[in-house]
Every structure is written in C-alpha cells, then in structure tokens.
C-alpha cells in the first residue's frame, strides 16, 4: 500500500489507533501507538520520534533521539488489540540526517540484499525458516543472590502420568515421543490450528502444523518461504501471533531453544536459495542436483559457521541444544536428505524451483534479521571465493565412531566461543557495509556483559546436587 492507500484502508476498516513496531538489538519487538487522527501521509516520510536510550543495545542517554519510519507495505490490522488498530513494521533512522541507523536489525537485511544485488550474482534471496516452540500451561522462575529455580509444566508432559488431576486420563507424551501423535495425546491440535488461522489472516501462507518430538507441548507450524526482508518481517509476526494466541487460552509459548532437560530442543531449520531474473540458481548437475553456485554457498556457510553461530544461535541456552545425542546437528558437514548434517539438501524432486539448501543449526532465539543477513553474507563469500565444501558426509553422523567424528568440525560449544569466533572472523560480514564494526562490537559486548558473564557467575541447582557435600 502507498501512504494514501493506507489512510483509505484505515477508514474502511474503522481503525481507531495506529501501532508502530520495530526490532531491538536482541530481536524483540518494541512498539508505541498513536490515534489515527495523528497519522498523515507525511508520517511515512518524516517518521516519529522516540527515546533510543531505553532500547537494549542502542544509544546513550546523551544522544538518544531516534526516528521510526513506518513501512506502508507492512500495514495489517493487529489481531490482538481490543480497539481496531493498524500496525506497521518500522525502520529506524537518525533524526538529523534521515540516514538508516546501523544498529537497526531491519536495515542490516536491507543492506545485505542490496549488496547481493550489487555483486550481480543474484537479485533475490529466498528464506524459509521452520521455528519450533513449546506451549506450556505454567512457567515459574526466580533468581536471587541466595537462590534460584525454574519450573515448567504441561498437561501432556511425561512427568504428569502420576499426577492427581481429579481424573488423570493418561495420554501423556513420552520424552522424545511427541512426533505426530493424534488426539487426545496431542492436546494442542486445535490451539495450533487457531494459530494457523491467525497467521493466514496476517498474510502468511501456512503449509502445515504438527506436534514436535518433545513432550510438554512442543509444536511446529511451517509457513511458506519468501524473499529475505518480507520473510524476516513475517517471522516477527509469527512469534507475536504464536505467543498471543497461546495467551488467549491461558497458556504460554516460548521460543527458548532448550527449556526441558533430557528432551529435544527447539530449532529453526532455515532453507535458502538464490534467484536471478525470476530463475532459480541452486539447481544444477552437481551433487544432489545442486549447481556449483549452491555448493560454494554451502562452502561459505560451513567455513564461517563458527562465527555465524553468534547470530544464528545467540543465547547461552542455545548451546544446551547443540550437544551430541539429540536432533540438533553439531557437525559441520553437508549431505543429501541427511538430517544429521548441519546442512541438508532436501529431496525436493525434479522441479528446479524447489532446489535449496537447509541449514539445520539455527534456533528461534535468533534475531532473524541479523541471522538471515549473516547467512546470506557467508554464502556470498563462499560464491565469490569459490569455497568448495569438500566431500559430503553420507552417514548417520550421530552414530560416527569417536575417532571418525573427531575429524569433522563442530559448531562452538558455548555462546562465549561463538562470540570469540565472530571477533576473529567478520570480514565477510563487513563487505558492502552490511554489518559495521560498531554493530558487531556492540552485539558481542552486549551478549558478554548481559548474558555470558552473569550466567558464569551464578551457581545452578544441579551444582548443589553435584558439589554441596564435597
């Protein structure tokens, strides 16, 4: 929609309020709202001011004025606000120059796409993330200097087989036994269906929904792939809708990668392909029906994966999912159809338009804008430098003998290690001024100060179990 069309649409829909959403450094939406009477065509050009010092990882209080500019193409009616409210995703700019703000994650995706197009390699990058999540009935946690705990619960959880429920009906889902059960064991089918309907109302094409492997309400809803910027925008709506539909029914949804010990975590397998002039570029006559460009793209991701993880797996909790023995691939290999490899080439059939790669390491704690941009930049670097990924590994990588597994590179074992890697390997991100040194240093500094170091300093309940009587 153009600004003029936006105003017409708002009147037709009886809109009373207008909401402006933008993404902070960590990847969470922030927002503020104005009456429709305050919205004009000039708003889309001039933007609206806000205090950038109150946003995580942004500006100091001494220089905090910022501007949000709503993207008119992103306007939809917010499905969760009682008063009819038109919602926009915004770009963030400097108030004095109008230039894009370097730490605005959405701007990074825009610059990554512009850089891809400037190389002449391709003019479109398609992304298809599959974000898993848990839906709990109860979550409690607390942290003090003298104690701390967490506890989650779900009516379908394996640990509730013996709970007095005033008539326990059984049908609890076993640990790692939650892939595709039918009702009544799948207690959340109807709730996920409502999530699908809300996603479709928000303009997303839903491909499927199902219960995932984990007990206690793990689910997955897949939406249709799209170009990199609209896909990143859709993923922000995706998380918002999943959480708010769950909340509508007195439940809580989380995209935390590993909320339950001893069971599968939540990943965000990400499918990627490049196109030019409306034609797919990843189909060819090489391994698994890939083009040479696609192999080099894989080579770039595998080479830079230790630093990419700082953006694709950016939480300390991410590395509790990236451990041997579960479905998260930790070995940096590629293979046809093989879900134990970090990069899988799906068996997509003969249609060249469906040919793509799937990077299975990411998780949904990622800031999707930064994660998608970093993946694209790594792939471009692989193409430009003709980085061949080596031979594919067509084995069950989880079952490799220790001496064979030792020869296959692994993802970092911790967020601290991933941050250290991105300090050492970031030249590919800086091309085209897509990521700036300021953004990388701010990201790493924020993560170390607010996540890595506080976790390192705190005793955990399990340490009392291990060490209290030493």
Decide if 38 contacts 24 (C-beta within 8 A). Answer: no
Q: How many CB atoms lie within 10 A of CB 186?
A: 19
Exactly one of 5, 38, 45, 51 is catalytic; which is it?
51
Report residue 78 as tokens.
Answer: 């917010």
- The helix/strand/coil state of 110 is helix
Tokens of 55: 């946003």
207 counts as catalytic: no
Cis amide leading into 184 (omega within 30):
yes
Query: Crossing angle of helices 228-248/189-201, nearest 10°?
Result: 130
From 19, 78, 91, 220, active-site residue: 220
DSSP H helical segments within 70-122, as ranges?
A: 105-119
Asked about 51 being catalytic, the answer comes back as yes
Among residues 156, 212, 363, 451, the one annotated as catalytic is 212
Residue 146 is among the residues annotated as catalytic for this protein: no
Active site residue 417: no
C-alpha closest to that of 360 among 242, 253, 272: 272
**Active-site position among 78, 132, 156, 198:** 132
Neighbours of 175 (CB within 10 A): 17
Known catalytic residue: 269?
yes
* Exposure of 342 in the CB half-sphere (CA atoms within 13 A): 26
Clarify whether 19 is annotated catalytic: no
**Please, how many CA atoms are within 13 Å of residue 56, restricted to the half-sphere of its CB?**
19
Q: Establish whether 360 is a catalytic residue.
A: yes
Write down the catalytic residue from 211, 269, 304, 344: 269
Residue from 339, 394, 417, 425 carrying the catalytic annotation: 339
Catalytically annotated residues: 51, 130, 132, 212, 220, 269, 339, 358, 360
């Amino acid at each position: 929609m153009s600004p003029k069309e936006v105003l017409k649409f708002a009147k037709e829909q009886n809109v009373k309020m207008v909401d402006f959403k933008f993404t902070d450094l960590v990847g969470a939406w922030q927002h503020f709202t104005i009456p429709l009477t305050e919205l004009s065509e000039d708003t889309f050009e001039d933007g609206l001011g806000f205090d950038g010092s109150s946003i995580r990882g942004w500006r100091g209080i001494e220089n905090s004025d910022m501007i949000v500019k709503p993207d008119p193409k992103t306007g939809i009616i917010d499905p969760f606000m009682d008063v009819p409210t038109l919602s926009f995703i915004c770009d963030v700019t400097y108030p004095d120059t109008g230039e894009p703000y370097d730490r605005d994650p959405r701007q990074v995706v825009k610059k990554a796409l512009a850089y891809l197009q400037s190389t002449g390699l391709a003019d479109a990058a398609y992304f298809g993330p599959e974000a898993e999540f848990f839906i709990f009935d109860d979550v409690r946690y607390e942290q003090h200097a003298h104690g701390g705990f967490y506890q989650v619960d779900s009516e379908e959880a394996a640990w509730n087989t013996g709970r007095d429920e005033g008539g326990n009906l059984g049908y609890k889902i076993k640990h790692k036994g939650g892939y595709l059960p039918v009702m009544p064991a799948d207690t959340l089918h109807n709730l996920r269906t409502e999530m699908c309907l809300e996603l479709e109302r928000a303009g997303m094409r839903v491909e499927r929904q199902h219960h995932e492997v984990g007990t206690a309400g793990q689910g997955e809803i897949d939406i249709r792939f799209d170009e990199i910027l609209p896909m990143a925008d859709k993923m922000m709506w995706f998380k918002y809708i999943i959480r708010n539909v769950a909340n509508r029914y007195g439940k809580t949804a989380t995209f935390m990668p590993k909320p339950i010990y001893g069971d599968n975590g939540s990943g965000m397998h990400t499918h990627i392909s490049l196109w030019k002039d409306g034609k797919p570029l990843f189909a060819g006559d090489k391994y698994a029906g890939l083009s040479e460009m696609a192999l080099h793209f894989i080579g770039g991701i595998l080479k830079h994966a230790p630093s990419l993880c700082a953006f694709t797996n950016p939480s300390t909790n991410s590395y509790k999912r990236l451990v041997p023995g579960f479905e998260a691939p930790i070995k940096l290999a590629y293979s046809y159809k093989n879900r134990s490899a970090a990069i899988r080439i799906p068996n997509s059939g003969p249609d060249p338009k469906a040919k793509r790669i799937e990077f299975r390491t990411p998780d949904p704690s990622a800031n999707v804008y930064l994660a998608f941009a970093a993946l694209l930049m790594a792939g471009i670097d692989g193409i430009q430098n003709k980085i061949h990924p080596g031979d594919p590994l067509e084995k069950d990588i989880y079952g490799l003998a220790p001496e064979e597994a030792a020869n296959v590179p692994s993802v970092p074992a911790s967020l601290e290690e991933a941050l250290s890697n991105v300090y050492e390997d970031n030249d590919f991100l800086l091309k085209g001024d897509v990521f700036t040194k300021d953004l990388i240093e701010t990201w790493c500094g924020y993560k170390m100060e607010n996540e890595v170091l506080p976790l390192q300093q705190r005793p955990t309940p399990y340490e009392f179990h291990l060490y209290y009587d030493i």
